[in-house]
Structures are given as C-alpha cells and as structure tokens.
C-alpha cells in the first residue's frame, strides 16, 4: 500500500497507487514528524531530504497543509529561518478499489489458471493516475473476478505488461499458483516474447543483439535510457524482416523485460520506433501519436500442467495500414 490521492505529476508507469490526502480534521490522529532545518533552506527541498519522498510529493503535502512551519502553512519556496519548527503530518494509506467495466476483450485462450488476451493499442494495462478507468484490469474484472492478488488491488492478475500504445499479447494469472509459475518463467528468461516494430532508418545488419543496461534517464525522469549506474541488465535480439528507403520492419525478441526496453534499445541504435512520442522524432510522416510496436508472439509453460503453449496475434490495424502505406508509396529500397 502507498500514499494515495495526491497529484504528484508522475505518470501512470511511475506511480502504482494514487496518493490521497486526508481532511485537516483528521490530522490529530495522523503520525507526525517534527524537526528543524538549516537556515536558508528552501522548505520543499529540506523536507524532501528528511522524509525521503519525491519532491513533487512533498510539494503536494505542503499545498494541502500537511507541512507546517511553527504551526502555520507556508509555500514550497519558503526559506527556513533559525529555530523554525517543521511539522510534517503523514496521512495514513487508504485502500483503493478498482471497478469492473464491461469492455470487450479479444481473448485467445482461457482456462481455470490463465488467460491470454490481445490488448489493443491505446489501452492502459492497469489503473494509475491519469488512467483510472477503461484499462485492461477494469475489463478483466468484469470478465472474470477470480484473478491473482499477488500484485495488489490495482494490478490483479498482471504478471507482465506492455505499454499503452503497444498492441499485442499478454498472459494473465487467474490465481496465485499461476502467477508464481509465470513470474518464475519471466525471471528465468524462459518465456518467449517476440515483437514486430517499424523503426526509423535502414538497419543494414540482418540481425543483432543489444546488450545495454537500462535505468531512469538522469536528464528526464519520465524516460528510461541506456545508463551504467542505477541500471538493470537488458538484452534485446532483433532481425530484419523488410527494408525500405526510410524505415525497416524488424522482429525483436526480449531476453529481459525492462520498462520501454525495445523502444530504448532501438533509439540507442539510432533507429527509434516509428511514432514513438518519447524516444523518436517529434514529427513523423504519418502523424502518429503512438509507437508502431506489436507483441506478436507469446510462449510459456502452463503453470499447472507444464505444457508449452504458444500464441500469436496479427499486428494492429493501424500498424498494418502504415506498413501498407510505406510499401504502396514505393519506399522499398
């Protein structure tokens, strides 16, 4: 459980639970922290260092009156004076509920343990700030209420995820046994995951492997990047399927599963995914608002029977339309 309901400005992939500030009337029963800061310290900066939360989280606490200086509210940019007494009132966590919604799902397979779904482009996998409804989880809860609870109330059944604007296959766990079995396969890199992507530029090598660690971009916290500190191992294998004058159609195979892995690794090679709003050019010739990336193949051992199961799904209509346009316009090299 986390702090809930406070608008921190974090995106849906960074913040798992909404932060909710309780009414000032409840403050007497809430835990407090009291301390002093060095003279001249900016209030939000000093409190952030002491409390250990993000600066945006602390700024929200200050705005809602949960940070007091000598018993009074101040602004985030207040400069602390000698002997100022800082009080931080910590609101208790509050359980969140996710509503079931009647949203159509393309289900490729289902039994008592697992469910394989073809997620459409534009659908968020699980609720988070900015996307509390119309997510895959909302739809799953309507379709089947018996989902594994290992990942908490906001991510029932979710073993792995794909980005909002990436279409394609996901396996969902309907109980904890299935969740544990699938999670072990992901950890062991034994789950087969292959993607189709249209990338910028001509990739001349017929195939290759990107082995470069991925972590938070130090220059932009909303992005990931190839970095060599505070990063995790990341390995992506790719092969060329078709080359065009300005683009290349590739198949990418994940060995690891880091956030935005294919998008980051292809941008690292100077071949960002077409339409990628974070890692690609700001403008593209098709006016796309999301990346041309599709989780085409998914294979795993059934967590109960041990049988190997493999599924495939055709690319989204949009990806196929863009690909046909590239071919039709004579862009083949």
Q: For residue range 56-69, what is the model confidence (pLDDT) as tens digits?
A: 889 989 998 999 99
pLDDT above 70 as % of the chain = 88
Catalytic residue among 163, 165, 176, 220: 163
Known catalytic membership, residue 84: no
pLDDT at 148: 86
Q: How confident is the model at residue 96 (pLDDT cuts 50, 70, 90)?
A: low
How far, CA to CA in Å, does 96 sit from each of 5, 60, 154, 176?
A: 10, 19, 8, 20
Q: How confident is the model at residue 13 (pLDDT cuts 50, 70, 90)?
A: very low
A 10 A CB-CB count for 271 gives 20
Report yes or no: 254 and 157 within 8 Å, Cβ to Cβ.
no
pLDDT in tens, 181-238: 999 999 899 999 999 999 999 999 999 999 999 999 998 888 999 999 989 999 999 9
- pLDDT surpasses 50 at 156: yes
324's tokens: 């046909």
pLDDT at 16: 35
pLDDT in tens, 21-79: 233 333 344 578 899 999 999 999 999 888 877 788 899 899 989 999 999 999 999 99
């Amino acid at each position: 459980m986390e702090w809930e309901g406070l608008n921190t400005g974090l995106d849906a992939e960074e913040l798992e639970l909404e932060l909710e500030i309780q009414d000032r009337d409840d403050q007497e029963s809430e835990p407090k922290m009291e301390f002093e800061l060095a003279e001249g310290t900016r209030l939000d900066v000093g409190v952030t260092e002491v409390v250990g939360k993000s600066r945006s989280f602390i700024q929200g606490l200050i705005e809602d009156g949960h940070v007091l200086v000598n018993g009074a509210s101040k602004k985030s940019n207040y400069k602390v004076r000698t002997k100022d007494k800082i009080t931080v009132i910590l609101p208790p966590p509050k359980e969140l509920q996710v509503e079931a919604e009647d949203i159509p799902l393309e289900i490729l397979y289902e039994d008592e343990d697992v469910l394989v779904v073809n997620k459409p482009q534009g659908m968020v996998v699980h609720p988070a700030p900015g996307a509390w409804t119309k997510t895959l989880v909302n739809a799953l809860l309507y379709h089947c209420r018996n989902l594994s609870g290992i990942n908490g109330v906001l991510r029932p059944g979710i073993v792995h995820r794909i980005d909002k604007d990436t279409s394609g296959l996901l396996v969902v766990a309907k109980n904890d046994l299935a969740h544990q079995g699938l999670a072990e396969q992901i950890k062991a890199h034994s789950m087969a995951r292959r993607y189709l992507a249209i990338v910028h530029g001509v990739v001349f090598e017929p195939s290759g492997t990107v082995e470069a660690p991925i972590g938070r971009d130090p220059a932009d916290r909303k992005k990931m990047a190839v970095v060599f500190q505070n990063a995790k191992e990341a390995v992506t294998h790719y092969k060329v399927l078709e080359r065009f004058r300005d683009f290349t159609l590739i198949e990418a195979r994940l060995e690891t599963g880091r956030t935005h892995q294919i998008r980051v690794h292809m941008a690292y090679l100077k071949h960002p995914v077409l339409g990628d709003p974070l890692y690609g050019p700001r403008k593209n010739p098709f006016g796309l608002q999301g990346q041309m990336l599709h989780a085409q193949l998914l294979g795993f051992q059934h967590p109960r029977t041990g049988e190997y199961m493999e599924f495939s799904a055709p690319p989204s209509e949009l990806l196929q339309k863009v690909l046909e346009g590239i071919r039709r316009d004579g862009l083949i090299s």
